[in-house]
Amino acid sequence: MNLTSFLLVSGLLLIAAVWLKRTGLGSGTPATYRMRALVSPAERSFLGVLEGVLGDRARVFTKVRIADVLQPDGVKGRDWWRAFNRISAKHFDFLVCRPDDLAVLCAIELDDASHSTEKRQARDRFVEEVCRSAGLPLLRQAARSSYRPESIRESIAELVPGLFAEPEKKQTASVEEGKCPRCTAALVQRRARKGQHAGKLFLACSNFPKCRYLKPLEEAGT
């Protein structure tokens, strides 16, 4: 072995020794661990309000890794792994999911004072772009000492249309009460004069022609 080769090997061994020492892999003493809180006090406070707003319409999960919800698309090989590594260590603060199949409805990021730093803002812009490309609605909520549930409800309703819609059974009740399920105007009884249903009775909205709701009387339960 010549001098150059000796110096190269010695340098590599020195680098390996330093790396093992820093990572703890080269020591015989195993690391110990301690418990830490799953969420911060600010996140726990917002979670309570969020669960109250959603009720049984959705389930909320916290600290979900982005890579467990989204994955790179349109790339392969090294490009796929490069894109995956960019999201593998990042998490959503909250995920709102359908209660039946746990399909993701939207993600929520709670922005505290740390989000004012340049590094954090760069991370936030990246996460926003990732969600935009995947079609995942993302709500950015400023951390506060107190929250207005109505405001949070409105913000989520804009991202997830229909989430707070009234159940279908209430529309049926409206028909039974003599109100149009579409516009709540009074329903009136009419008889078809023409066509294949000539002579049959049906319920029609009194707000016709603005509202064209109608239903055969025998299907309306009257």
pLDDT at 2: 66
Q: pLDDT digits over 153-180, tens only?
A: 999 999 999 999 876 554 444 455 678 8
Residue partners of 80: CB distance under 8 A and separation at least 6: 72
pTM of the predicted model, to two decimals? 0.63
The larger pLDDT score, comparing residue 215 to residue 152, is at 152
pLDDT grade for 15, boundaries at 50, 70 and 90: confident
CA distance linking residue 94 with residue 107, whole number of Å? 6
Q: What is the mean pLDDT of residues 204-208?
A: 84
Burial class from Cβ neighbours inside 10 Å (0-12, 13-18, 19+) for residue 106 reads buried
pLDDT grade for 221, boundaries at 50, 70 and 90: very low
pLDDT at 79: 97
User: Is residue 48 over pLDDT 50?
Assistant: yes
